[in-house]
Amino acid sequence: MQAEFVIVGAGSAGCAMAYRLAHAGRRVIVIEYGGTDAGPFIQMPAALSYPMNMKRYDWGYTSEPEPHLGGRRLACPRGKVIGGSSSINGMVYVRGHAMDFDHWEESGAHGWAYADVLPYFKRMENWHDSGHGGDPSWRGTDGPLHVSRGPRENPLFNAFVEAGKQAGYEATDDYNGRKQEGFGPMEQTVWQGRRWSAANAYLRPAQKTGNVQIVRALAQRVLIEDGRATGVEVLRSGTTQIIRAENEVVLAASSINSPKLLMLSGIGPAAHLREHGIDVVADRPGVGENLQDHLELYIQMAASQPITLYKHWNLFSKAMIGAQWLFTKTGMGASNQFESAAFIRSAPGVPYPDIQYHFLPIAVRYDGKVAAEGHGFQAHTGPMRSKSRGSVTLRSNRAADDPVIRFNYMSHDDDWDEFRTCIRLTREVFAQDAFKPFIKHEIQPGAAVQSDAELDAFIVEHAESAYHPCGTCKMGSTDDPMAVVDPEARVIGVDGLRVADSSIFPRITNGNLNAPSIMVGEKVSDHLLGLDPLARANDEPWIHPNWQIAQR
């Protein structure tokens, strides 16, 4: 049970690293606690609400009671399956804004500016524009990760983009290209009708090289001898075993489990480790801190015409869609149904978008509960760069116990202003002429909910996580006391150990986190192999020329 590299977690970043290391001829063991991703619930894009709510595929974490959201415990799903969260997510593909990565660089993650990471986004992508416009020179066409667009046949997808333009916003053909800001088509990690998870894109081809072994086990701690990580202690079929790493151990276990594993291994805030009787190997106060996420609301409208997906919300229709998908990988089942999107700025003086929209032609919740009104549609919206910060801490010194997750949502005063702005700007978009033929009335929040206090009460009751936790093992300069890893993702204070997943993000990116998580795996694999980073790009991203004085 030993290899040159031992990776904990077969998720988005872990699969990407296994692929690059295996293709370079290195021997890799990937430790994954979850089981197989075979089966229609994971592979069929339209079935996305199922795996996220299935204990078999999800760690099933929930937050501690959130003090600013009425004491609610919010769901925090993380993939416990081959492919990790890329096997249970909504398959939405967003790189993030150029200025997000420039901020990483400015905050101490040298070599992670947009010019540095764009070549890795290109390397990982196999982009299919299907003749919908877009920015080919900004995109990759021969990477393992297929990125496509839905057919956008429902007239509501077009109405959303038209309404955005009527409200005075920009349009964009490709928010992952030069211009993120505006209304346009949404991209998905779907290929030939199947979920194109990190397992399908990276892990299966890596296994074909013969250099990758997957070990199904629960990682309990990293073994550290004389200041160097030498392996991982795992619980496998009821017995404790050691998996040895000849070169390095890499944690890619998620922004919840990577900090937990570091702490169980003696790396973290010294006082907290001692409370749990853990010997301190490296006092890193930033481990588990800096937890960030995106919170969102569903603004729902009742439809005046029976054109929404609600007409398929019955057993017969679902069976027909499922059968068509099983036999042909086509039809309604072949899309995640998130086919239009927008990124806008909340106010003048905000240099790049800080509000995201996912548009969906049905009024439904993530847990699959449909609106009582029947036919409807919704926009998911929320602020992208909340100033609230939470933490992940240990519940005990046992690997089997869930960590304590405190997001501390809405704890910063600005969050409330930003969220109310999201709601009001969304209502304005829905009030445009493009939606006149389709809207009956507002389902939620409901037309009566108007004042700041009424909107705040709605937020407290209805805000949900967008499931984008990150930041708990922050990357930064070695003299930053709160940094956990250096700009090559090496854990500060321990040799032979790296972290590579969304936990190293210094600050949350703009949009969904799957694409930047995979990019981290791609870039760190070059560091693991001792390669020079890819040549920097000199493409100039689009920034609104009047951003200082205009909101749109």
Residue 490: which of 329, 199, 266, 251 has the closest Cα?
Answer: 251
Burial class (CB within 10 angstroms; exposed 0-12, middle 13-18, buried 19+) of 158: middle
User: Is 468 a catalytic site residue?
Assistant: yes
* CA-derived radius of gyration, the chain: 22
Annotated binding site for FAD: 81, 89-92
What distance in Å separates the CA atoms of residue 265 and residue 282, rounded to the nearest whole number? 9
Side-chain half-sphere exposure of 387, counting CA atoms within 13 A = 8
Strand partners, 245: 3
What distance in Å separates the CA atoms of residue 500 and residue 522, rounded to the nearest whole number? 9
DSSP state letter for 194:
E
- Give the tokens for residue 551: 């909101």
Annotated binding site: 81, 89-92
What distance in Å separates the CA atoms of residue 427 and residue 429, rounded to the nearest whole number? 5
Contact 343, 355 (CB under 8 A): yes
Residue 303, helix vs strand vs coil? strand
Please give the distance of CA 245 from its chain centroid, rounded to a whole number: 29
Residue 197: which of 93, 327, 96 has the closest Cα?
Answer: 93
Query: Of the residues 68, 103, 468, 527, which is catalytic?
Result: 468
Torsion-angle region of residue 320: left (phi > 0), alpha (psi -120 to 50) or beta?
Answer: alpha
3-state helix, strand, coil in the chain (%, to 5): 30, 25, 45
Residue 405, helix vs strand vs coil? strand
Burial class (CB within 10 angstroms; exposed 0-12, middle 13-18, buried 19+) of 288: buried
Largest pairwise CA distance in the chain: 70
What distance in Å separates the CA atoms of residue 176 and residue 182, rounded to the nearest whole number? 11
At position 137, the amino acid (one-letter code) is S
Strand partners, 216: 32
What distance in Å separates the CA atoms of residue 31 and residue 215, rounded to the nearest whole number? 5
Q: Using CA atoms of 133, 134, 138, 139 in order, give the dihedral in degrees to the nearest 10.
A: -90
Torsion-angle region of residue 192: left (phi > 0), alpha (psi -120 to 50) or beta?
Answer: left
My answer on whether omega of the bond before 445 falls inside 30° of 0, hence cis, is yes
Secondary element (H or E) of residue 257 = helix 254-264
Cβ neighbours of 322 (radius 10 Å):
17
What distance in Å separates the CA atoms of residue 45 and residue 62, rounded to the nearest whole number? 25
Look-up: residue for tokens 């937050």?
63
Which ranges of 24-147 does DSSP label H, i.e. alpha helix?
40-43, 98-106, 114-124
Q: Which residues are catalytic?
A: 468
